[in-house]
Amino acid sequence: MLTLKLITEETERVIRGLEKKHFDGAKETIEKVIEIDRNRREAQQKLDKAKQEAKQLAAQIGSLMKQGKKDEAEEIKAKVAVIKQADKALQETMENAEKELHDLLCTIPNVPNDDVPEGKDASDNVVVKEGGVIPELPADALCHWDLCKKFNLIDFDMGVKITGAGFPIYIGKMARLQRALEAFFLEEARKSGYLEVQPPYVVNEASGYGTGQLPDKEGQMYHCNLDNLYLIPTAEVPVTNIFRDVILDEKDLPIKRTAYSACFRREAGSYGKDVRGLNRLHQFDKVEIVRIDTPEHSYESLREMLDHVEGLVKKLELPYHILRLCGGDMSFTSAICYDFEVWSAAQKRWLEVSSVSNFESYQANRLKCRYRRADDKKIELCHTLNGSALALPRIVATILENNQTPEGIRVPKCLVPYCGFEMLDDKNF
């Protein structure tokens, strides 16, 4: 959530940033925020003044009663009662303004960093780096869904029977490869200084609000109505919420955490080739990296996170490029975001496998995640960052397609120590 300080002190920059994100009615919304805040502060000032007056008058009552001036004391009592009645109206006005202000702020996205390019959609994203070698496959090369059927690696139909579309069943060596990827990603994160945690897969409303998933404008979260809990769309939500309502010491920053989790997304509105096979699932596995940092150091943390994810795709021997997302393609909460895409050789298309974002103080303001400065002990909002490192489904799809041979699928060398085999084939045990 944007701070009132930012909105009131840098109004024009905020409006320009929201327009870059294609937020409808940016100027009108920000002007309304400022107006509501002004009304709230005016009500607060009147309330404070009235309370002070009532306190001063009330102090006279006892003295007048001792002096036998009962009539004068009763007059003052009547004045105090009138003031207190007016106070109730002022208090109600102020509380209504605070609620209206909070609800309105929740609808306003984060302001993008100046380095975010202009643009409306994914076609305007900017490739900032690329690497790896795109493999040349024979004309009869298979897409991953056909390879899975050929070598009995994933049963999509059985998943539909048990649950529905988007919930596949991994079999034999493929199940072991899933475990291998999870272990590899977690171990690489540990080597990079991330402390591993194992979070819950369901969160309460406060947690969803803290990281910006709630209010859920697009209906993408699974909701457990009876208990008012939500299945997590990413481990970012529970891991970042560890630091909700916490004041950290500057000397302890940056804080680095990693977690594996299953992720659950309704993916409402998805259709066509984008949902075939592993391209888009309702349940999938992912390893997440999260950082809590100071504003001065958070962009250095972002660079380190990008280097970390790039190192993973390099070790997996996958051709990749890195995109800096334009304003119109960014998430609601991010200040800047980079996507990693790998080349799926049989589908002949790029598949997104990671997003790495700096939210600056936007999430921290919702979370009340703060730190105490070492020099003057002043308490400031932290910056929060997170990244997929990595999401498994499209990584698996690309490994299958890019490494296919007539005998089976070659397993990247970095994974062999974790899974115990070099080929995915019909000897699936």
Binding-site residues, please?
A: 234, 265-267, 288, 352-355, 386
Strands (E), 39-159: 126-131, 154-155
In sequence order, what DSSP letters do the residues of 173-194 get, joined into one string? HHHHHHHHHHHHHHHHHHHTTP
- Are 34 and 7 spatial neighbours (Cβ–Cβ below 8 Å)? yes
Listed in sequence order, the residues at least 6 apart from 226 whose beta carbon sits closer than 8 Å to its beta carbon are: none
Classify residue 330 by burial, with Cβ atoms within 10 Å: 0-12, 13-18, 19+.
Answer: buried
The DSSP line for 184-222 is HHHHHHHHTTPEE----SEE-HHHHHHTT--S-TT--S-
Q: Please state, in angstroms and as integers, the Cα–Cα distance from residue 75 to each residue in 78, 89, 415, following that order.
A: 5, 22, 86
Query: Contact, 39 vs 92, CB < 8 A?
Result: no
Known binding residues for ATP: 265-267, 352-355
- Binding-site residue positions for L-serine: 234, 265, 288, 386
Residues in the chain: 429
Encode 179-194: b = buried (16+ Cβ within 10 Å), e = exposed: ebbbbbbbebbeebeb
Question: Residue 406 and residue 50: Cα distance in Å, rounded?
Answer: 85
